[in-house]
A and B are shown apart, each in its own frame.
Chain A
Amino acid sequence: MTVEADFIELEEGGERIMRFSGRLTIARIGDVPQRLSELPYSPARIDISNVERVDTVGAWVVHKLARDHGAQIVGASDHADRLLRQVSIADDPAKSFDEDEGRLHRIIARIGASTLEALSGLKGLLAFFGGLLIATASVIRHPGRMRFNAVVQRFETVGVSALGIIGLMSFLIGIVIAQQGAVQLRQFGAEVFTINLIGRITTRELGVLMTAIMVAGRSGSAFAAQIGSMKLAEEVDAMRTIGVPPMQALVLPRVLATTLLMPLLGFYSTFLMIVGGGLLCWIGLGIPPETFILRLREVVPMTDLWVGLIKAPVFGMIIGLTGCYQGMQVRGNNEEVGNRTTTAVVQAIFLVIVLDAFFAVFFSSVGWG
């Protein structure tokens, strides 16, 4: 006797009989279900007395055949009989899978859904900002509610631990700017203007902007993931019921940390970019450090530094805000934490760059160009 499931058809007393053999189990069922679905005739009886072994899948296949053709099942062993009864109880005709819509319909629906989502995301962010302001106001009125420990802890994770990577990045970017600038300016014999380039672009733009991108990637994502996981584990709900507003306990310390630390990190980054640029000028162009510093003081107006440092806290707030906001939006499953973390970083960097453009226009129109 073969072990693979199989069936043959017989005629007996004018009735069509289907006789199964082998093992009617998921491992051995092979192409039997397919062949059964293409059956050209209707059996009156199904004989399973030759079946070696049967499991729920086999029982289901037999049950379905009997149901679809109104056939009678004969020769079932005790065990098979129990299984058949079990699967017939479990036979629920209700639709259990969503039907597929047309492809065009799906594409349009998806475009619509993501547009709505983007709009409601921005609106939600604005509402979240409002909520944060209210929380801030209440903390100002009751300074006892300020969670200094939480803020200081965030200072460490957002600021101190980031010093190494931001420093290294800034130093290298300084070298790259100086090197690329020198190559271009050499064509005009204006190598000395490399110092103008380094001094102005780092203080006005790159120092703060690169730091913002780094902080968004390091801390904005961490905020979203931390708060998101807390949401999933109902920790945020638990906080609310205990009477600790999550806005005050979770969001405010984080946003405060990024807002206050961005100017410091931005300044630090600018400084190291200049150091990197200066080093390249010294080694590559033969400009000694004293000359570099002297020249820097001549060409970089103080307003350039202000331009950079005024932008920094705004960027910091945006990063902290989007991180916490996306974290608070997590609901449902773990994949959502990942999606929201990604969104937090993308949204933060996008908003920072958009705002940077506005700042550039603004500062040049007030004469700080």
Chain B
Amino acid sequence: MSDEPIISIRGLRNSFGDNVVHENLDLDVRQGEILGVVGGSGTGKSVLLRSIIGLQEPDTGEISIFGERIDCATAEENLDLRRRWGVLFQNGALFSTLTVAENVQVPLREFYKNIDEDLLCEIATFKIVMSGLKAEDAPKYPSELSGGMRKRAALARSLALDPLLLFLDEPTAGLDPIGAAAFDNLILELKEALGLTIFLITHDLDTLHTICDRVAVLADRKVIACAPIEELLALDHPWIQEYFNGPRGRAALAAG
């Protein structure tokens, strides 16, 4: 395993009209780590994610994933990159007209057209079970699932292609504390078993404490700090202090 970062962002600038969201933003995600990204509402966490996965074209800046510049990549290379990462969107973004199993099969069918139907079903089923659902849930439609189950189904889809890199956008938002803790454990387990690198946007202080190796703090249009949580606590930035040393932050610290 090399020390080359899996994702490397340099001088990123994003803006919507006059509203500059990111300016001169630098960030590295290392191999095999879980990087948490935090920031107040409107600091552009989701925009950052969207720029990395190519849904938002940045004004300027370099983004490299697996050592390849995504802005210079050809359509072919882009497709090849896409099969090496999985994305879990905030609300799951499951295709509502397909069953859970079919949702998981979508990326498989797209990239590997000659896999036979039986194996596809088996793969879908074990991915679904691996994500903490039951095999009986496979033929259900997303509208028949609870919020937590939908997140797990979406996780199963994002793991369909055995990605090396996983993007999670607020995976535990809207889950009850027990469900959220179970989801954290699941992510940690899968990370160990599958050797994933995880880019995680979250507001959940418990998640940050329990599973993140490093935390990047977005404020003032850039990453103001990116370090393990203990080091962040020592930093003298008003937002960081308020975030981690506020009442909720202290409770999570005591629990972690």
Contacts and interface: CB of A to CB of B under 8 A. Distances in A.
Interface of A: 25-27, 29, 33-34, 37, 55-57, 60-61, 64, 79, 82-83, 85-87, 89-98, 331-335
Given A83-B193, A89-B130, A95-B135, 10 more contacts: A26-B162, A57-B119, A57-B162, A60-B123, A83-B194, A93-B135, A94-B136, A96-B125, A97-B121, A333-B143
Interface stretch (B4-12, B32-40, B50-58, B108-116): B108-116
Contact of A96 (B101, B119, B143, B162): B101
Contacts of B126: 56, 60, 87, 90-92
B89 interface: no
> Which 10 A-B residue pairs are closest in the complex by CB-CB distance?
A333-B96, A96-B138, A92-B135, A90-B129, A90-B130, A94-B135, A96-B135, A55-B162, A90-B126, A86-B193
Interface string B76-102: 000000000000000000001100010
Given A64-B122, A82-B192, A333-B96, A56 B138 contact: no
Given A333-B97, A335-B96, A27 B112 contact: yes
Contacts of A37: 118
Contacts of B128: 96
Contacts of A61: 119
A96 B136 contact: yes
A61 B126 CA distance: 11
Contacts of A34: 116
Contacts of A334: 96-97
B139 A97 contact: yes
A242 to B, nearest CB: 22
Nearest to B156: A90
Given A26-B115, A60-B123, A91-B129, A333 B138 contact: no
Contact of B116 (A33, A57, A64, A82): A33
A82 B135 contact: no
Contacts of A331: 143
A305 to B, nearest CB: 48
B195 interface: yes
Contacts of B194: 56, 83, 86
A79 B32 CA distance: 14
Nearest to B122: A60
B161 interface: yes
A61 B108 CA distance: 16
Given A25-B162, A92-B125, A96-B125, A333 B141 contact: yes
A37 B143 CA distance: 36
Given A86-B130, A89-B130, A90-B127, A332 B143 contact: yes
A26 B111 CA distance: 10
Contacts of B143: 331-333
11 contacts: A26-B162, A29-B115, A60-B122, A60-B126, A64-B122, A87-B130, A89-B129, A92-B135, A96-B128, A96-B138, A332-B96
B69 interface: no
Contacts of A60: 122-123, 126
A93 to B, nearest CB: 8
A23 to B, nearest CB: 12
B171 interface: no
Contacts of B122: 60, 64
A321 to B, nearest CB: 26
A333 B100 CA distance: 13
Nearest to A334: B96
A297 B66 CA distance: 82
Nearest to A63: B126
Nearest to A98: B139
Nearest to A332: B143
Contact of B97 (A57, A98, A335): A335
A285 to B, nearest CB: 56
Contacts of B124: 96
Nearest to B108: A26
A92 B129 CA distance: 7
Nearest to A91: B126
B248 interface: no
A57 to B, nearest CB: 6
A331 B143 CA distance: 9
Nearest to A56: B162
B250 interface: no
A333 to B, nearest CB: 3
A85 B194 CA distance: 11
A34 B135 CA distance: 23
Nearest to A79: B195
B121 A96 contact: yes
B237 interface: no
Contacts of B192: 82
Contacts of A97: 101, 121, 138-139
A22 to B, nearest CB: 16
Interface string B10-34: 0000000000000000000000000
Given A26-B161, A332-B143, A335-B96, A57 B193 contact: no
A55 B116 CA distance: 18
Name the residue among A57, A85, A96, A331 with the largest chain B CB count within 10 angstroms. Answer: A96
B44 interface: no
A93 B115 CA distance: 21
B142 interface: yes
Name the residue among A91, A97, A332 with the largest chain B CB count within 10 angstroms. Answer: A97
B123 A57 contact: yes
Contacts of A86: 130, 190, 193-194
